[in-house]
Structure 1
């Protein structure tokens, strides 16, 4: 299994168990949301993996994007969700089946209104460093 897929599984498990986040989204954390989702919710989005080997270790940097969605008036709800995602994942001690997580760091979050002029959307970016055990 790839580091990216193992991270996705660990992130999904952690976010669904995170009490402050579930208080906001009620365990609505999706890879692919349903056709007519209940708001608010979080989606696991895009990822990019870059090989990052050193002399004695096989490693990868995995850049991950998560999305928070809300249809509450204004930005407060979606910003609280984005902050809860950040708080749950920044420096989290995630356990992966076949890789060793060195670190997972929050890089940034951007919040904006979607084209429907109703949905508030936060894009949360993380970077993880993983090593493949020898």
Structure 2
């Protein structure tokens, strides 16, 4: 059985790369765990993820916090916000199929958009919380 955190990442990746609004906002399925050299902007990356025991006295479970990053070189934050909004709609409260696990819930926690330290890139951060159980 696949690790719950990795199964969740795979399901999120599949959902986002097949979601028309997200891929349209990105200009294609530009969602990476490991960014290729010379990646075309805008793109999205998987950031930090955490997994905590969420078991009860009778049921096993895990709580996950997943961070997605958006990178844009467009003027202003509009493109960054559009990608964040599309990803949120694609993931928030959606049912995703996980290998070896069941997704109990997936909720958007917060998003922000800011100028990166290089002065030319806008950086969006979007955090989600999920609960899984063995399936």
Could you tell me the TM-score, scaled by structure 1's length?
Answer: 0.97
2:3 matched residue in structure 1: 2
CA distance in 2, matches of 1:60, 1:37: 33
Q: Please list every run of at least 4 consecutive aligned residues from structure 1 whose deviation after the TM superposition is greater than 3 angstroms.
A: none
**Shift of residue 114, structure 1, vs aligned partner:** 0.5
Aligned partner of 2:85 in structure 1 is 83
Query: Partner of 2:75: helix, strand, or coil?
Result: coil
**Alignment partners' CA distance in 2, 1:87 and 1:117:** 29
Number of matched pairs: 133
Alignment pair present for 1:71 and 2:73: yes
Q: Which residue of 2 aligns with 1:97?
A: 99
Tell me how far apart the structure 1 counterparts of residues 94 and 70 of structure 2 sit (CA, whole Å).
19
Write the distance in 2 (CA, Å) between the matches of 1:13 and 1:102: 18
Following TM superposition, by how much is the alpha carbon of 1:44 offset from its aligned partner in structure 2, in angstroms?
1.2
Shift in Å at residue 64 of structure 1? 0.4
User: What are the Cα deviations for residues 60-88 of structure 1, in whole angstroms up to 9, with x where unaligned?
Assistant: 00100000111000000001101111111
Once the two structures are TM-superposed, the CA of residue 22 in structure 1 deviates from its matched residue by 0.8
> TM-score, normalised to structure 2's length?
0.96
Q: Distance in 2 between matches of 1:97 and 1:7?
A: 8
Q: Residue 70 of structure 2: SS of its match in structure 1?
A: strand
5+ long unaligned stretches in structure 2: none
- 1:39 matched residue in structure 2: 41
The offset of 1:35, in angstroms, is 1.9
Which blocks of at least 5 consecutive residues in structure 1 are unaligned? Answer: none
